[in-house]
């Protein structure tokens, strides 16, 4: 079922009688007598769909017509019927199966895989909005899982998307790192940290990086990069069924060849239909295309949807060194420890030295909070001001400042790129 090695296309619409009769087959109850399952047995076809309801059938028929495939390949049934029908005949190049009603969709897909030819592309449809199911299906070689009701653009995008490069021994599949950034309090610099880390990974380390601003109303990541975010990101978050490579590609704003942004400037009177499964699917897709995904999530959203942390490689809680910051860091860190994988939590103290009186020292903060601070970034006004003036991150305008040096070290630790050996000319001289 691996979608690699796209087979030679059989001229569409060419189905020559006599159709091979299905061998030992128990009759399948059919809602529509117009559909003839035996049609699928006429050699390797371009397309077949097994769908269980009228709405889906209509959309699939439209798809077939648009691609010049025979409508008769839209069959009534679901994955069980697909398994029965395809057991002894060549499987089509593209197979759409409805998982609705299957007791165990994963087991059903396993059985389907056993009767499918190597290079059949499978798109699954279903009603279960569940990221674990989605991941497992993709792992099993299903190319896309779309939620019902299916829209014509969603199925069209899934069909025309480049086949997933999964399960190939020869082709490398990215499994990008996900870094979640959350501010313990407002104004502590979480957006600054997120955008600079992403910029450093893309520019210093030459990695493919996507930065996501989940603060859909008040996010400042696009602003700090002087970008105009479109509405694609907001649409994607409301429609898990539309999340696919093409859709995401359209929603992303390009900063450079290897640095992309997903952000939104939603007007305040516009409600956002945030679906956490859509967000997880989105990140899951991006992981296949990018080396690092830096996602800034407002703390309210994160606590409402802890599943946003479930696949994070690192979860950064950014705070200042104030007492209130420490208190909120403790609470948020506890939350992150429970929701994110073990060891993902990192505490970043930003704007250290900003307040002369009343600020905790690193040691006081760590002792009272019973938490390790992984990185301290100083308050550094000039880079911050220059950054705003230039519409670029601090790292782009003040690469040698202390705050950017700290961020650079942190970015390497998070992306897994080894720190470069000291570039001091004297040290290089002595090394010879």
Nearer to ligand ATP, 285 or 346 (CB): 346
Work out which of 263, 333, 384, 414 binds ligand ATP, going by CB under 6 A. Answer: 384
Closest distance of CB 186 from ligand ATP, Å:
3
Work out which of 3, 52, 126, 189 binds ligand ATP, going by CB under 6 A. Answer: 189
Backbone angles phi, psi at 250, to 5 degrees: -70, -30
Nearer to ligand ATP, 288 or 379 (CB): 379
Q: How far apart are CA 397 and CA 207, in angstroms?
A: 20
Locate 194 and state its tokens: 């997120």
Closest distance of CB 378 from ligand ATP, Å:
6
Q: Is 403 in the site for ligand ATP (CB under 6 A)?
A: yes
Pick the closest to residue 116 from 93, 133, 98 (CA basis). 93
Q: How far apart are CA 120 and CA 4, in angstroms?
A: 9
| Phi-psi domain of 32 (left: phi exceeds 0; alpha: psi -120 through 50; beta: other) | beta
Pick the closest to residue 143 from 291, 311, 285, 310 (CA basis). 285
Closest distance of CB 176 from ligand ATP, Å:
23
Estimate to the nearest angstrom the gap between the alpha carbon of 223 and the chain centroid.
Answer: 23
Strands 253-256 and 259-262 come out as antiparallel
Q: Contact 86/40 with Cβ under 8 angstroms?
A: yes
Q: Is 188 in the site for ligand ATP (CB under 6 A)?
A: yes
Closest distance of CB 420 from ligand ATP, Å:
22
Work out which of 212, 380, 393, 412 binds ligand ATP, going by CB under 6 A. Answer: 380
Closest distance of CB 379 from ligand ATP, Å:
4
The alpha helices in 340-401, defined as continuous H runs, are: 362-369, 381-390, 394-397
With a CB cutoff of 8 Å and minimum separation 6, the contacts of 97 are 49, 50, 78, 79, 82, 112, 122, 123, 124, 125
Q: Is 406 in the site for ligand ATP (CB under 6 A)?
A: no
Q: What is the CA radius of gyration of the chain?
A: 26
Q: Contact 3/119 with Cβ under 8 angstroms?
A: yes
Residue list 59-118, contact with ligand ATP (CB under 6 A): none
Q: Is 191 in the site for ligand ATP (CB under 6 A)?
A: yes
Locate 45 and state its tokens: 């076809």
Q: Which stretch binds ligand ATP (CB under 6 A): 185-193, 251-259, 409-417, 421-429?
A: 185-193
Nearer to Mg ion, 191 or 401 (CB): 191
Q: How many angstroms separate the most distant Cα atoms in the chain?
A: 89
Backbone angles phi, psi at 28, to 5 degrees: -100, 130
Work out which of 14, 162, 381, 409 binds ligand ATP, going by CB under 6 A. Answer: 381
Q: How far is CA 300 from CA 3, 264, 349, in A?
A: 40, 17, 20
Q: How far is CA 127 from CA 100, 109, 124, 135, 420, in A?
A: 6, 15, 10, 15, 49
Q: Which stretch binds ligand ATP (CB under 6 A): 79-87, 128-136, 180-188, 357-365?
A: 180-188
380 binds, among ligand ATP, Mg ion, none (CB under 5 to 8 A by kind): ligand ATP
Q: How many residues bind Mg ion (CB under 5 A)?
A: 1
Work out which of 72, 80, 190, 322 binds ligand ATP, going by CB under 6 A. Answer: 190
59 binds, among ligand ATP, Mg ion, none (CB under 5 to 8 A by kind): none
Pick the closest to residue 175 from 202, 215, 135 (CA basis). 135
Q: Is 387 in the site for Mg ion (CB under 5 A)?
A: no
Work out which of 191, 224, 387, 411 binds Mg ion, going by CB under 5 A. Answer: 191
Estimate to the nearest angstrom the gap between the alpha carbon of 218 and the chain centroid.
Answer: 22
Nearer to ligand ATP, 311 or 384 (CB): 384
Nearer to ligand ATP, 146 or 194 (CB): 194
Q: Contact 174/292 with Cβ under 8 angstroms?
A: no
Q: Is 401 in the site for ligand ATP (CB under 6 A)?
A: no
Nearer to Mg ion, 45 or 320 (CB): 320
My answer on whether omega of the bond before 335 falls inside 30° of 0, hence cis, is: no
Closest distance of CB 154 from ligand ATP, Å:
33
Closest distance of CB 72 from ligand ATP, Å:
56
Q: Which stretch binds Mg ion (CB under 5 A): 4-12, 110-118, 190-198, 205-213?
A: 190-198
Residue list 218-237, contact with ligand ATP (CB under 6 A): 220
Residues that bind ligand ATP (CB under 6 A): 183, 186-192, 220, 350-351, 377, 379-381, 384, 403
Residues that bind Mg ion (CB under 5 A): 191
């Amino acid at each position: 079922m691996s979608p690699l090695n796209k087979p030679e296309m059989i001229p569409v619409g060419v189905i020559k009688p006599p159709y091979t009769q299905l061998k030992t087959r128990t009759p399948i109850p059919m809602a529509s007598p117009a559909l003839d399952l035996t049609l699928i047995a006429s050699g390797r076809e371009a397309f077949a769909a097994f769908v269980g309801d009228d709405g889906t059938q209509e959309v699939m028929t439209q798809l077939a017509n648009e691609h010049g495939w025979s409508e008769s390949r839209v069959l009534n049934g679901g994955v069980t019927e697909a398994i029965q029908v395809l057991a002894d005949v060549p499987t089509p190049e593209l197979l759409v199966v409805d998982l609705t009603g299957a007791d165990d969709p994963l087991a059903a897909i396993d059985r389907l895989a056993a009767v499918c030819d190597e290079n059949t592309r499978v798109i699954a449809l279903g009603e279960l909005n569940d990221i674990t199911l989605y991941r497992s299906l993709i792992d099993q070689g299903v190319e896309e899982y779309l939620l019902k009701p299916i829209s014509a653009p969603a199925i069209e995008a899934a069909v025309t998307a480049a086949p997933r490069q999964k399960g190939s021994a020869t082709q490398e599949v990215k499994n990008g790192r996900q870094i979640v950034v959350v501010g313990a309090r407002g104004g502590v610099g979480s957006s600054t940290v997120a955008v600079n880390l992403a910029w450093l990974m893309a520019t210093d380390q030459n990695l493919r990086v996507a930065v996501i601003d989940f603060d859909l109303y008040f996010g400042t990541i696009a602003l700090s990069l002087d970008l105009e975010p479109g509405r694609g990101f907001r649409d994607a978050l409301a429609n898990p069924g539309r999340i696919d490579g093409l859709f995401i590609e359209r929603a992303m704003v390009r900063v450079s060849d290897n640095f992309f942004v997903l952000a939104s400037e939603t007007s305040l009177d516009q409600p956002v239909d945030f679906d956490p499964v859509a967000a997880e699917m989105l990140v899951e897709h991006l992981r296949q295309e990018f080396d690092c995904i830096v996602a800034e999530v407002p703390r309210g959203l994160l606590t409402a949807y802890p599943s946003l942390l479930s696949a994070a490689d690192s979860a950064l809680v950014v705070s200042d060194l104030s007492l209130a910051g420490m208190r909120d860091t403790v609470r948020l860190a506890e939350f992150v420890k429970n929701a994110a994988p073990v060891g993902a939590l990192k505490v970043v103290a930003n704007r250290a030295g900003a307040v002369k009186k009343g600020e905790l020292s690193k040691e006081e903060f760590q002792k009272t909070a019973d938490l390790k601070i992984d990185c301290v970034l100083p308050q550094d006004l000039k880079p911050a001001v220059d950054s705003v003036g230039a519409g670029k991150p601090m790292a782009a305008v003040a690469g040698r400042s202390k705050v950017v040096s700290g961020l650079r070290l942190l970015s390497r630790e998070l992306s897994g790129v080894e720190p470069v050996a000291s570039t001091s000319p004297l040290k290089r001289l002595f090394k010879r």
